[in-house]
Structure 1
Amino acid sequence: MAASRFAHLPVPQNPAADYKKQCIEVPGTKRPGQTAHYRGSAYPYVTIDAPDAFTNLLQIFDEGLRRSKGGRFLGQRPIISKQPLKYADYHVWQSWPEVDVRRRAVGSALHKLFETGTLGGGDLPTVGIWSKNCPNWQVIDLALQAYGKVGVSLYDTLGKDSAEFIVNHAELTVIFATPEHISSLLKLAPLTPVLKMIVSMEPLSPDTKSALSAWGETVNVQIKDIAELEEFGRANLIEVIPAVADQIATICYTSGTTGQPKGVVITHGSMAQAVYGYLHQFEMTNDMSMMSFLPLAHIYERVMELVSVAVGGQIGYTTGDPLLLLDDLKVLQPHFMPSVPRVLNRLYQSAMSAGAAPGIKGALFRKAVATKLHNMRANGQFTHALYDRLVFKKGELLPKIQSSRPVTDELRFSYGMTENCGSFVRAWTDDPTSSGTVGSPLPNAELKLVDVPEMGYSAEDKPFPRGEICMRGAQRFTCYYKDPKKTAETIDEEGWLHTGDVGLLDDCLRLKIVDRVKNIMKLAQGEYVALENIENIYSGHPLVAQLYVHGDSLQSYLIAVVVPDPVQLAALVSRIRSKAVSPTDLATLAEAAKDPQVVAAVLAELTKPAKKRGLKGFEQLRRIHLTLEPLTTENGCLTPTLKIRRKETYEYFKAPLDGLYALGEPSKL
C-alpha cells in the first residue's frame, strides 16, 4: 500500500498520559469571571495547519478508499416480505469501488444541471436530502462533497412547517427524497417556488413515476429517480472537483425547541477537523463495522460515519424501525454504534431489567454486572474471562457505543453539539474513575468555563470551578445561515462558542455537565431551576419512558407529565393491586394511570433517585400527570431529533397540568 501522510491515523492511546491531570492550563489565560483556557494533556495541541491533519472531506474519502483494498463499504438488510414486513437476517453490501463510481456519476449529473441553469440560482449550490438512513444517503452526500455542492439534510420526521421553512431558507432547487416524502414536497410546492426537481432515492414503478411526474408538471417540479440521474451523470462524467478548507460543505438545521430551525453553516475544514480529532484514541480498522442508527441529518452521526470512511471501514444501516434495533444489532454485530442519551438510557434500562429475573439467572447477572463495574472503576477493564462467556456471550456493545452527550453514571461518553460538529471532549479509554464525566478536549479543541452569576456558578467555586462551557477550535461552525444576530450571540469576538451548558472541572481536570443555562425559570419564591437538568435526572429511572417537567413563575413547586414504561408500570400495578397485570394490557394500565394510589406510588419511586442525586426540595417534583399517551413529533411535543418542545408540550397537556396546580400547594414542600 502506497505511503500516505495520514497513515498515522488513528492515533493510539498515549501510554504516558496522566489520568490524574487530563487538561493542561494555557499559561497567562486566566481572567476574572472565567477559568484559564484548557487543552487536553494526552496529545500535543494541533490546528488545521498541521501537515498531517485532514483539511477537507475529499482527503477523508481518498484515504478510506486507499485503505479499503476494494472491500465492502455500505450495507443494508433487504426486505424479503412486505406482507407481513420482514427483513433478511443478512446485509447486502456495496464495495468501495462501486460507491466511488456511483458518487462520481451522481456528482457529475448535479454539476451539469447546476452549470446549465436547470438547478441553482440561490446564494449557494444547495442540495437537499430528505430520507431515513440508507446507503444512498451516504452515496449522495459523498457526491456533494466531491463536486462542490452544499448538502442540506432534512430529518426524516420533519413536519410540514419546518420542511417549508428549510426549503425556502436554504433555497433548495433539488431534493433527494424517499417516495413517501415526494408527495409531501409536491403538496408544499406552491409554497416553495424555489424547488425545481425531486429525485427519488428508491426505484419508482412506471405507474407511480408517471403519476408523480404528471403532478409535478402542474407545480413546475421535475420528478426523477436516482438511477436516471446516475445514467445522466455517466454520460456527462467529469473529474472530482478539488475542495479547500473554508469551502462550505453543509448547512445543518438544528431542530430548535423554540422558533424556526437555525441553519448551522459548516465548512469542509470544520468537518474534517472533527473527524481528525475523533481519530485520536480511537480503535478502528478497515475490517471493522459500525451501525448507522442515529439520523444522518444529525451532525454527530455524519461525523462518526466519516470516521469509519477515513479508515476504510464498513457501515451497516438499520431497518430504520426503533423497535427492531436489537434485531439489527444481532444481525450486524457491529464494532461500535454512535447514539444519543435517549436511546442509550433505554438500552441500559433493558439490560438492567435482566437483573430482576428470579432465581439463579438474575443473581448471576447481578453478580456479573457488579464485578465488571468494579473492574472498570478499579483498572478501566471492560472484559472478564468468565462472565463474558457465561452472561454476555457475544461480548458487550455498550462500551463500544459512542454518545454525543452524557447519560447514566455507569457509562462514559463524549460531548458536543451541532455547532462544533459534535466534536469537543471525550472520556479517555480505560479511565477507571471517569463515570459521570465527559473527559477532556480532543487534541484540536480548547475549553474554558465562564461565570453564570444568576445561577450561582463561578470559576472561583470550591472545590471545583464551575461555569458555562465554552469551546474553541477548527471544528467550530462558521455562522448561522442568514442570521448574524444569533451568530453574534453564540460566537464571541475571540472565537469562543458559548454552548449554553454548565460544567465543572473535577480533580482530574475532566469536564462534567451539571446544568443548562437555557430553559431556566424562577419559581414564585425566587429560586432558579434548570428544567432540562431535572428532566435528565428523573428520566434515568426505569419507570420513565418519557418525562416533561413544567414550572410556573407564580407557583412554588414543579410538576410533570410522566409517560411510564409499560413493563415497569405493569410490575408496579401488580404489586399494588396484588393481581398480575400484563404490560400488553394497555386498557388496564391506562385505567391504573388515573388511580391516585398508583400515581402516588410512581411519584414516590421517582423521588428516591432525585433525592439521591442531590436535588433540592424546590427542584423535586411534587405532582405528576401519569399518561400512556407519548410525546411524539406527530402531536408536536417533540422535535425531529426527539427533543421536547416546551411550549407545545405544555399546550398539549395544558388541562391536566393546570389541574395539578389548581389543587393548591402540596402539604409538604
Structure 2
Amino acid sequence: MPPSFKPPYAVKSTDPGAVAKEGETLPMRHFKFADKLLDHPPNVYTMWDLYLHGNKIGGDTPFLGTRKMNNGVAGEYVWRSHREVRKSIEDYGRGLVSLGLGRQKSIGIYSVNRPEWTMTEQACYRQGFIIVALYDTLGAEAIDYIVNQTDMEFIIASADKLSNITRLKESLPSIKTVIVMDGDNLKKADKEAATDAGLAVHTFQEVEKMGESVEEETEMPKPEDIATICYTSGTTGVPKGAVITQANCVASVYGAAAVGDVGSFASVDHTDVYISYLPLAHVFERVAQGLHVYRGAAIGYYQGDTAKLLDDITVLKPTVFCSVPRLFNRIYDKVLAGVKAKGGLSSFLFHRAFNAKKANLENTVHHWLWDRLVFGQIRQKLGGRLRFILSGSAPVSPDVMDFMRICFSARVFEGYGQTENMCGGCLTIEDDNTSGVVGAPFPCSEIKLVDVPDMEYRSTDKPYPRGEICIRGYSIMREYYKVPEKTAEAIDEDGWLHTGDIGMFDSANRVMIIDRLKNIFKLSQGEYIAPEKIEGVYQKHELVAQAFVYGDSKQSSLVGVIVPDNDAYVPWLKSNFPKVSKEQSYDSPEVKKELLKVLNAYGKESDLKGFEQIRAIHLTGEEFTVENDLLTPTFKLKREIARKVYNSQIDELYAVLSNGRNFN
C-alpha cells in the first residue's frame, strides 16, 4: 500500500470541496470516524479471535436456534447457548483433526443454512482448514472441477446430499470422508451405497465425540491463513475460486462492527436476533452472520424452504434482517396490491400516511400516529421487532427502499460488495435516507473511478465523476485459485480490484451504482441498454413477479420474458378477459398486447426512455429460481442461461416485430 494509505481507513481528503478523479481515492470526510484508527487493525486478528470475543459476551444466552418439528409441522425455536456451542465446536474441530484433516487443507460444506454449517465454519477457523462451499446450482460438472482443483478429501453435508456425493464419487477420486450434519435423517440405504462406493461416512455427533478425548492442542490460526475459497456462480465457463484469508474476513466483519460502534451504521449487540436464510455459500451472509457471531447475538435458521420464510420470521421475530432486492420487491408488490384491493377508506389512509412519512423521511422513519394506525399490521409481516434492514447482492430501486423504511418503520441500509472483496465495498450511512446510493467505503477499503470511454463514462465528468468502480484494501482476495491470468485481469499492479460496476460520486461523495460493465449491451441504433435497471422498473408493477429484458445488437428494440404475479394477475385477467384462463393467457396475443400497454405506460411514468421499453413479450408461469438454474444462489438472474432457455421464444418475438405485428 502507498504511504498515504493508513490502515484500516481510506485516505481522507484535506480539501473539503474536493471530488475524486481517476487515480484518486474517495474522500471519507462524511464518516464520523474518518480520523479515528481502530484499536486493533485487522491484520493482527483471525476469525477465531472474533468468535472468542462473541462467545465471551454471549455466555449462557441463546446462540443458535432451529424450529422444533412435530409431525412435520414447525413449532417454536429451540436454542443452544453460546457456551454449549463453543464446546461442540472445539470438540468437533479436534475430531476432524483426528480423522486426518490437515491444516490448510480444504473441506467442502454442502448444505442449506443450519447450525452445523456455522459450527463447521468456526471449527475451520480455529483449526486452519479451508472452507469450500458447494451447492446444487453449481451443477455436477462445476462441483467436479472444484473438488478436483482443491484436492478435497472431506465433505460435510446434510443427509439429503449424501446420495449426490455418492453418484459423483466416480469422478471425484479425492473424496474419502463424508460427515453427515443431521444423523437422525441419514437413511441406511444411502449410507450403505456411500460405503460401497469407498466413502467413510460419519455423523456430526460422532466426530464431535471423537474430539472429546483429544487433549493435544493444535497450532493456532494465523491472519494469513486461507479461510475460504469461495467459488463464484458464473454463467459461463468454469467457476473461479476467490482465495479469502482470515485477515480478509476480519477486515469486513470488524469493519462493519466498527462503523456501528461510531454511529455511522447500525450497531449490533448481544440482544439482537438474526434470521439466517441467505446462502452461507456466499460472502454476504458470511459477513452478516460473522458480525452477529462477533457481537454475541442470537442466530435463528429458516426451515430450508424460502416459501416458508415469512412464517419463520413471524415466529422468530428477528431484530435484524438481511435480504436481497428480489424479496423486497415481492413484499412491495404484495402490500401495494393488497392496499389497492381494499380500496375505499383503507386505501385513502394508507396513501395519506405513506405520503406524510415520505415527506419527512430525511428526518425520521417513524411517525407517532401512522406507525400504529396504518403500518403496525404491515410491520408484523417481518416479526414486528426489526431495528434495521440491510439489502445487498444487487441494486434495489429507490422507490422500494423508501417503501421499506416507511412501512416497516425501520432503518434500511444498502451494502455493496463482491465475492472478491469479501463484501467489503460500501455501506450507506446512519440517518441518511437518501435512496439510490450505496454510501461510503468500508473502513478497510478505498475506492476510485476509472474511465470507460466506450460507454462515455469518465472520472472528469461534470458535475459528478463517473467510471468503473475499483476497490483496494484489506478485504481484497489474495487471488483466484490456481488461475493467475484471471487474477491479473481482476487485480492490477497497484492492488486495485476492478469490479466491472459503473459508479458515480454524488454531491456528498457517496457512491451510486449506475451501470454494469458486463451486462450493458448496445442496440442497432447505437443506444446502450442497462437491462437490470429496466427489469427493476417492470418488477415494481403489481402484475409482474419477474422480468428478463433482452436486446439483440442487430435489432432496434427490446423484448422481454415476463413471469406474472398470480395474486394480482389472476384478478386482472378475470376483469379484462373473463373467458381466458390463466394457462390460456400465456399464449394469447390479446392478453400480451393489453399487458404490454399497461407495462409501457408504467415504464413511461417511471421515466424509461422510448428505446428502454420492451416492444414484445413472452409470458410464462414458470418462475426464475435457483433450482431451474435461472438464478444464482443470491437470486441474481443468470442472463446467459436465460437467453439459452428462452432462445426460441426470443427469436419468435423478434420475428413478430419484424413482420410489423408487435403487441403495442
**Cα distance 1:549–1:350, how it changes in 2: closer, same or farther (>3 A)?**
same
* Range that drifts further, 257-266 or 180-189: 257-266
Alignment pair present for 1:602 and 2:592: no
**Cα distance 1:626–1:35, how it changes in 2: closer, same or farther (>3 A)?**
farther
Contact residue 402 and residue 414 of structure 1 kept, 8 A: yes
Contact residue 523 and residue 556 of structure 2 kept, 8 A: yes
Describe the superposition over 1:223-257 as per-residue Cα deviations: whole angstroms up to 9, x where unpaired: 11111111111122444642222111011111112
**Cα distance 1:458–1:324, how it changes in 2: closer, same or farther (>3 A)?**
same
How much has 1:40 moved relative to structure 2?
5.5
Residue in 2 that maps onto 1:16: none
Calculate the aligned-residue CA RMSD, in Å.
Answer: 2.7
Residue in 1 that maps onto 2:87: 101
Contact residue 253 and residue 290 of structure 2 kept, 8 A: yes
Describe the superposition over 1:135-170 as per-residue Cα deviations: whole angstroms up to 9, x where unpaired: 111111111111110111123554322222222222
Name the amino acid aligned to 1:551.
Answer: G
**Cα distance 1:446–1:32, how it changes in 2: closer, same or farther (>3 A)?**
closer
Residue in 2 that maps onto 1:545: 545
Which runs of structure 2 are paired with 1:438-477 in the superposition (5 Å)?
A: 438-477=438-477
- Runs of 5+ unmatched residues, structure 2: 1-9, 260-264, 402-412
* Range that drifts further, 526-535 or 655-664: 526-535
Alignment pair present for 1:330 and 2:314: yes
Contact residue 48 and residue 474 of structure 1 kept, 8 A: no
Residue in 2 that maps onto 1:502: 502
Alignment pair present for 1:655 and 2:643: no
Contact residue 162 and residue 194 of structure 2 kept, 8 A: no
Residue in 2 that maps onto 1:369: 354
Contact residue 544 and residue 564 of structure 1 kept, 8 A: yes
**SS of 1:67 mapped into structure 2:** helix
Alignment pair present for 1:274 and 2:252: yes
Contact residue 26 and residue 37 of structure 1 kept, 8 A: no
Distance across 1 between alignment mates of 2:209 and 2:631: 40
* Range that drifts further, 267-276 or 404-413: 404-413
* Range that drifts further, 423-432 or 300-309: 423-432
Alignment pair present for 1:319 and 2:309: no
Which runs of structure 2 are paired with 1:21-60 in the superposition (5 Å)?
A: 24-25=12-13, 33=22, 36-39=25-28, 41-45=30-34, 51=40, 53=42, 55-60=45-50
**Cα distance 1:651–1:52, how it changes in 2: closer, same or farther (>3 A)?**
closer
Q: 1:409 aligns with which of 395, 398, 417?
A: 398
* Range that drifts further, 93-102 or 625-634: 625-634
Contact residue 55 and residue 273 of structure 1 kept, 8 A: no
Contact residue 127 and residue 175 of structure 1 kept, 8 A: yes
Contact residue 22 and residue 448 of structure 2 kept, 8 A: no
Name the amino acid aligned to 2:253.
Answer: V
Distance across 2 between alignment mates of 1:461 and 1:172: 49
How much has 1:360 moved relative to structure 2?
2.2
- Runs of 5+ unmatched residues, structure 1: 1-21, 582-586
Name the amino acid aligned to 1:400.
Answer: F
**SS of 2:446 mapped into structure 1:** strand
Which runs of structure 2 are paired with 1:154-173 in the superposition (5 Å)?
A: 154-155=134-135, 157-173=137-153
Contact residue 277 and residue 444 of structure 1 kept, 8 A: yes
> Percent identity at matched positions?
38
Distance across 2 between alignment mates of 1:100 and 1:342: 35
Residue in 1 that maps onto 2:513: 513
**SS of 1:435 mapped into structure 2:** coil
Residue in 2 that maps onto 1:418: 419
Residue in 2 that maps onto 1:589: 582
Distance across 1 between alignment mates of 2:544 and 2:98: 52
Alignment pair present for 1:522 and 2:507: no
Alignment pair present for 1:201 and 2:185: no
Q: 1:174 aligns with which of 145, 151, 154?
A: 154
Residue in 1 that maps onto 2:5: none
Q: 1:358 aligns with which of 340, 343, 349?
A: 343
Distance across 1 between alignment mates of 2:625 and 2:54: 38
Describe the superposition over 1:58-104 as per-residue Cα deviations: whole angstroms up to 9, x where unpaired: 1211110121132110001121123xxx210x100010011100111
**Cα distance 1:205–1:622, how it changes in 2: closer, same or farther (>3 A)?**
closer
Which runs of structure 2 are paired with 1:70-109 in the superposition (5 Å)?
A: 70-82=60-72, 86-88=73-75, 90-109=76-95
Distance across 1 between alignment mates of 2:165 and 2:589: 47
Describe the superposition over 1:15-39 as per-residue Cα deviations: whole angstroms up to 9, x where unpaired: xxxxxxx995477999975555433
Distance across 1 between alignment mates of 2:507 and 2:631: 37
Residue in 1 that maps onto 2:237: 259
How much has 1:298 moved relative to structure 2?
1.6
Residue in 2 that maps onto 1:135: 115
Q: 1:301 aligns with which of 285, 302, 305?
A: 285
Alignment pair present for 1:67 and 2:53: no
How much has 1:627 moved relative to structure 2?
1.2
Contact residue 293 and residue 337 of structure 1 kept, 8 A: no
**Cα distance 1:203–1:431, how it changes in 2: closer, same or farther (>3 A)?**
same
Query: How many residues of Structure 1 are paired with residues of Structure 2 in the alignment?
Result: 626
* Range that drifts further, 297-306 or 418-427: 418-427
* Range that drifts further, 188-197 or 362-371: 362-371
Residue in 2 that maps onto 1:152: 132
Name the amino acid aligned to 1:352.
Answer: L
